[in-house]
Structure 1
Amino acid sequence: MLKVAAVIDELPLGLHDKYLFCISPVDMNDDISSQGLMQFAQNYSKNGIVRLREIFTPGALQVPKTQTALKELESIHKVLDLYVWLSFRLEDSFPDRELASSQKAICSL
């Protein structure tokens, strides 16, 4: 929680929004997950809306052939899970829940 707070502290967000990002299910020890959180928070503070297609390209997921590719796919799954979690709390600002859920399901196959 403190790692998230340190990362988003400088963003122009209200206390409620900062708290929401701080309690979000993000693995700050995972580079891709922490970058995803930062992009979500930055887009949210700048635009008030976070479109998944601006950050993630649907249809780009591939079956991993190496350990590194598997780890990356797991990280992408975490980012998609974070998007879904935020979409339940900030529904108007994270409108692509269905897309995130479907891509998350593809990651799980």
Structure 2
Amino acid sequence: MLNNSELQHSLQGDSANIYSHFDRAMKKNGDRIAVACGSEFLTYRQLEHEVDKIALALLVAGAVPTQRVGIAVAHSQRLVASILAVLKIGCTYVPIDTRHPRSRIFHVV
């Protein structure tokens, strides 16, 4: 178990940023499979391309760092890319399960 000092140290810098871990993995493993869903897959490089497209769309739509962004995407490669895109631009993602009742979704949003 980490003591408080070790925990604080581990949370500083890139170690606390999930996207930075993905970015390092992409640079190291660009042509390897990053995510698979059934018989479809994306390499790290392809996934990065999808992440960049979604991140740009979020920025154009007005997303700003520290903002919460809802994600209502079925479990898929697109879900992984969406989460990474939200994190890349410094936002927090809020998973929204469309199978929940509307009242629950409106409460989350």
- TM-score between both structures, scaled by the size of structure 1: 0.29
Q: Which has the higher helix share?
A: 1
More strand by share: 2
* Higher RCO by CA contacts (8 Å cutoff, separation 6 or greater): 1
